[in-house]
Structures are given as C-alpha cells and as structure tokens.
Amino acid sequence: EVQLVESGGGLVQPGGSLRLSCAASGFTFSSYWMSWVRQAPGKGLEWVANIKQDGSEKYYVDSVKGRFTISRDNAKNSLYLQMNSLRAEDTAVYYCARESRGRVAFDYWGQGTLVTVSS
Amino acid sequence: DIQMTQSPSSVSASVGDRVTITCRASQGISSWLAWYQQKPGKAPKLLIYAASSLQSGVPSRFSSSGSGTDFTLTISSLQPEDFATYYCQQANSFPPTFGGGTKVEIK
C-alpha cells in the first residue's frame, strides 16, 4: 500500500524557516517524480515544487523561487521541502504527492502538514 | 500559466441526482486533465486522469469527458459519500494548475 506521511509543520514567525519531510513507503520511491502541493485555509490547491527521480531536476512555482528548496533522499525514501524567508501567505497545509507514471496526475497524496506563519 | 475555471463553485443536490461539473482551461490542454475529490480535513483523491480514464478503485458512477479547453465531470447517481469538493487540474504544461473547486452539498 502506497503511503506518504508528512511531518515538520508548525507555527513560525515571518522571516523564519521550516523544513518539511515526507516519508514514502509501499512503492519504489526512486522511480517517481515527487511534488509538494499546498492549500491555504479555506482555499484551493496550489502546486509548489517538484523533483525528478534522481534529484537532477527541480522546479518551483514563481512565488517560492529563491526561498524554498525541494530535495530527496532515495536511500531513506524521503522527500523534503526547506522553506526560508517565510511569509504570511505561505500559511497552508502542505501535501506531499506522487506524480503518476507519465506525469499526468498526482496519484497519491499524504495527509498534509500545517504550516502557520504568524507573529 | 494556464488558468483553470470551474463552474459552478457550488451545487446543491440530493442522493440519486445526476451532477455535472465543468472545467475550462484558458488555452488548449489536449486531454491532459485530472479530477480530484477532497473531503473536509482530508487529502485530495485522484478520480480521473487523462480526461476520461478512471483511477483504479474509483466507482464507475464517476465519468469525465472533453478535450482542448472544455471538460466535464459527471456523477451519474450521487451517493452520500460523494458530498465533497472537486478540483480539476491541467497536466499539459508547466506549472500544473488547479481549478478553484466545486463544492457538492446536500440539498
């Protein structure tokens, strides 16, 4: 059974940093692109970043470029999101999601971890 | 970026009703569209990919059609567990973008 379990969320002050983790199991992690998708309270879904199977390619939504860094450790079946210079508008539930074969959808999602940026 | 517009933003329906949700892309996306269901406090769940392919385990009362810019998700006979918010997402070009969601509520 595919499982994605996020951790690392919490309350952080504006300008602060946080590192999210996603532990994957039930599939060959190193064979899939992985993404982070976020959802602000009461709002819709926004793709944030993704990373290729071997970590050689990484892409970001414009609003987080230069502040967030996605990475992965295939030996540990883990995905990460380092978030720096956090802003109030980064407040959201952050989901780890697996990109399907052919990258046509996000076929499995974690339960999400809440990041709150507030003073 | 490709903008995805869903309508209606909410719909009230009864168990057994046929419900149709539309999704329009700001430019052509061929058939690279996915639909998700999200219940309160839960992660989204993939229902349909490539515009009309049902994800494994998803009931056949869910169907979708369309190509280019206009797509529809249809629930043929609404069940109690189908009350949720539905999102479309384009996978044609970077970055992937989602529609604003359609909330299916109990009438």
pLDDT digits (tens, 9 = 90+) for A42-92: 999 999 999 999 999 999 999 999 999 999 999 999 999 999 999 999 999
Task: Return the pLDDT at A65.
Answer: 98
Q: Which residues of B touch A111 (CB under 8 A)?
A: 42-43
Parallel, antiparallel, or unpaired: how do β-strands B102-106 and B53-54 relate?
A: unpaired
Q: How far is A99 from chain B (nearest CA, A)?
A: 10
Q: In degrees, to the nearest 5, what angle opens at C-alpha B25 toward C-alphas A99 and A88?
A: 65
Q: How far is B101 from chain A (nearest CA, A)?
A: 6
3-state secondary structure chain B: CCCEEEECCEEEECCCCCEEEEEEECCCCCCCEEEEEECCCCCCEEEEECCCEECCCCCCCEEEEEECCEEEEEECCCCHHHCCEEEEEECCCCCCEECCCEEEEEC
Is residue A32 within 8 Å of A117, Cβ to Cβ? Answer: no
Is residue A44 within 8 Å of B101, Cβ to Cβ? Answer: yes
Task: Return the pLDDT at A110.
Answer: 98
Is residue B19 within 8 Å of B78, Cβ to Cβ? Answer: yes
Residue A83 phi, psi dihedral angles, 5° rounding: -115, 115
* Confidence at B106, pLDDT banded by 50, 70, 90: confident
Is residue B23 within 8 Å of B97, Cβ to Cβ? Answer: no
How far, in Å, CA of A85 to CA of A68, rounded? 8
pLDDT digits (tens, 9 = 90+) for B12-64: 999 999 999 999 999 999 999 999 999 999 999 999 999 999 999 999 999 99
- Is the per-residue pLDDT at A111 higher than 90? yes
Q: How far is B82 from chain A (nearest CA, A)?
A: 18
Q: Which residues of A touch B91 (CB under 8 A)?
A: 103-105
Residue A109 phi, psi dihedral angles, 5° rounding: -130, 150
Contact residues, chain A to chain B, C-beta under 8 Å = 35, 44-47, 59, 61, 95, 100, 103-112
